[in-house]
Amino acid sequence: MLSHLSSITNTGYEALSCGILSAFFAQIIKFCVFTIKNKRINFKIFATTGGMPSSHSAGVIGLSISTAIITGYDSIAFAIAMGYSLITMYDAAGLRQAAGKTAACLNRVMDDFYKHDMQAAGGRLKELLGHTPFEVIAGAIFGFGFAYLYHDILLHL
């Protein structure tokens, strides 16, 4: 079984699986950080956006760096993957975080207007949508390291 995994080394399958696994393991880290910080278990963390580290950043950087390892840092494939990564990380830290702040403000206004009967207004808006720049950078560093570790593991299978 493990020797079969070595056949994906230096292929698109390696790059794709690296991106997916990097995001998956970042979600596990996010769950552990939340559990330690809040001293309670919340399995909903696996399906939510926001938090430390950014699994979006980990996934796209894992994909990009894996592409660079396979095709070279001067390849068109890496340039495309990295462009995609930068847009995704900008969106996670910028636009989506701003949308989360707007949702928090609207929730406060609706709390005051509906006197805490938010169901009459259709329920609360989701506030944790984006990431802080630190969470995005932490996710990117994790994805970078994961790509090299994953490639090394595949080479030695």
The DSSP annotation for 93-131 comes to HTHHHHHHHHHHHHHHHHHHHHTT-GGGGT-PPP---S-
User: Which position has the token pair 């056949």?
Assistant: 7
The pLDDT assigned to 126 comes to 58
The pLDDT assigned to 90 comes to 86
The pLDDT assigned to 53 comes to 87
The pLDDT assigned to 93 comes to 76
Write the burial class of residue 37 (CB in 10 Å: 0-12 exposed, 13-18 middle, 19+ buried): exposed
The pLDDT assigned to 3 comes to 57
The pLDDT assigned to 144 comes to 98
- Whole-number Å distance between alpha carbons of 157 and 154: 5
The pLDDT assigned to 52 comes to 79
Enumerate residue ranges in the chain where pLDDT < 50.
none
